[in-house]
Amino acid sequence: MKRLLSIILILFLSALNANAKSLNKNIQEIIRDSGIPKESISISVKNLNNGKNVFSMNEYRLMPPASVQKILTIIPIIETLGDDYEFKTELYSRGKDVYLIKLGADPYLTSDDLKTLTEKINAEKVQKIYIDNSIIEQKAWGEGWQWDDDLNTALPRFNAYNLDGNLTKITIMPTDKNKQAFIINPQKSPMIFYNNVITGDKNDVNISRDNLVSPEVLKLEGTVQKPETHYITNTNLKRYFEKKLTDTLEDRRIYLKSAYSVSQKAQSDKFANKVTHSINKAVEDVLLNSNNMVIEIMAKLAGGKYYNKQGTDIDGINLFKEYCLKNEIDTSQIRIADASGVSKNNLVNADFISEYLVKNKNNKIYEYMASPSQGTLSNRMIPLKDNLKAKTGTLSDISTIAGFLSSKCGQKYAFAIMINDPKSSNLQKKNLENYLIREMYLKL
């Protein structure tokens, strides 16, 4: 019997070794055919059960992980905030004629929510409204973010005054041929539009602004043949919030005699109303749709809660480092600059990511990761729908993907693929990732 078991074990190990050699050969061929240099690619694949390495290539090479970083930072964030955390914006009364709005940096707060929040304000008596913006720092972007990419709606400014996604919706409407087009601004955002768009035979609109000279002035040029909708990143979140709050109050014929002032909530202030949004929506938004603003806000909130102070981006980073230290995950060879992966100052290697996934394999938060046909994987690797959970990442010159794969033989793996190559297109990089994952599925 023992001899039979030994023979079976030898055959099994031989089969594994043959599969590994076949996988290595095929991957080398796939990479060669892709035209992307081997030295630009980093891969790490680990057995999910025992953590042992089953395939690797340049696995210790540091690269910006792009949005794959979100699967690293989100775990200590949720562990700190809690599964039942709610983003809260609260209204308090301070005496007979004064109110205070305590901001919660809620990334989902809308102008309609302001109407709900202010319903409890006594229209006949209110004289003054204070705003408590102390929950997180007012710094609007992260370290190393591309400040010249100002109109990118994936990188809106964010702070305690978040409202309407920190975006303004406009629609450019055609009129008569060769006549000036019409701009509709339903949010009545405090922006100035220099409209040089002409009604023509095609839609070709360019939007620009000079933040050094006039950040709230938008220049629109080109032609429009049919209605075209754009979202514009708000530059002054405080001003936008106060404008929408004023509009909300004036709809109830409340006209304040003094401007809004900043004040922290006092113990004597009495709770009057609140608007909340669940953190579950945020987790889905981060892992499925790769929302940068949401995870950056969450990181600051979690850091603030953990250190019992106003939340900052540094607090969020330190929270991640402490989590890794507590779980014996070595961070000495990597650099984390933000929570979202937007900054190219982030430097991580594929081995760290796959190791992190193995150590956190039972964390329920990863159930929110996308499968093929969902989120950022909506048009990728559809045949692997029931066998793949992953997070993608994209920056200029960079494409990454990491997650969990169940092979055709039923074995489970954690993997990370990172590509940093300026000469290949984003489509070429994504296609290479697809081929590599398919090969791992077939051969492992």
Which CATH number characterizes residue 399's domain? 3.40.710.10
Instruction: Give me the pLDDT at residue 2, please.
Output: 57
* Arithmetic mean of pLDDT, 399-404: 98
Instruction: Give me the pLDDT at residue 8, please.
Output: 53
DSSP state string for 386-434: TTEEEEEEEETTEEEEEEEEE-TTS-EEEEEEEEE-SSS-HHHHHHHHH
Residue 251's region, left for phi above 0, alpha for psi from -120 to 50, else beta, is: alpha
Burial 106-121, CB ≥16 within 10 A → b, else e: bbbbebebbbebbeeb
Cβ contact 67:74 at 8 Å: no
Q: Is 14 part of any domain?
A: no
pLDDT averaged over every residue in the chain: 93
pLDDT tier at 310, thresholds 50, 70, 90: very high
Place of tokens 């303004």: 168
Q: Is 223 part of any domain?
A: no
* Arithmetic mean of pLDDT, 325-349: 96
Coil, helix or strand for 293? helix
How many domains in the chain? 1
Q: Is 270 part of any domain?
A: no
Dihedral, CA of residue 67, residue 34, residue 389 and residue 377, to nearest 10: 70
More confident residue, 16 or 63: 63
pLDDT tier at 214, thresholds 50, 70, 90: confident
What span, in angstroms and rounded, lies between the C-alpha atoms of 405 and 418?
Answer: 16
The yes-or-no verdict on residue 6 having pLDDT over 70 is no
Instruction: Give me the pLDDT at residue 21, please.
Output: 61
The yes-or-no verdict on residue 147 having pLDDT over 80 is no
Instruction: Give me the pLDDT at residue 159, please.
Output: 97
Q: Is 268 part of any domain?
A: no
Query: What does the block give as tokens for 111?
Result: 């102008």
Domain hosting residue 66, numbered range: 22-81+281-443
Q: Is 152 part of any domain?
A: no
Residue 367 CB neighbour total at 10 angstroms: 9
What span, in angstroms and rounded, lies between the C-alpha atoms of 2 and 230?
Answer: 72
Q: Is 239 part of any domain?
A: no
* Arithmetic mean of pLDDT, 156-162: 96
Instruction: Give me the pLDDT at residue 20, please.
Output: 55
> Among residues 426, 435, 425, which one has the least CA distance to residue 381?
435
* 77-103: pLDDT as tens digits: 999 999 999 999 999 999 989 999 999
Long-range (24+ apart) CB contacts under 8 A made by 150-157 are 150/209, 150/211, 150/233, 150/235, 151/207, 151/208, 151/209, 151/232, 151/233, 152/233, 153/231, 153/233, 154/292, 155/233, 155/292, 155/293, 155/342, 156/233, 156/234, 156/293, 157/233, 157/234, 157/235, 157/237
What span, in angstroms and rounded, lies between the C-alpha atoms of 441 and 411?
Answer: 9
Evaluated on CA atoms 237, 243, 247, 253, the torsion sign reads positive
Which residues, other chains included, contact 232 with Cβ-Cβ below 8 Å and sequence gap of 6+? 151, 167, 168, 169, 170, 189, 191, 207, 218
Instruction: Give me the pLDDT at residue 136, please.
Output: 98
pTM summary value: 0.92
* Arithmetic mean of pLDDT, 360-373: 95
- Integer angstrom CA distances of residue 114 from 180, 191, 222, 246, 308: 35, 20, 36, 10, 27
Query: What does the block give as tokens for 374?
Result: 């969902």
Instruction: Give me the pLDDT at residue 16, please.
Output: 47
Q: Are strands 412-420 and 398-406 parallel, antiparallel or unpaired?
A: antiparallel
> Among residues 310, 277, 301, 264, which one has the least CA distance to residue 92?
264
Percent of the chain with pLDDT over 70: 95
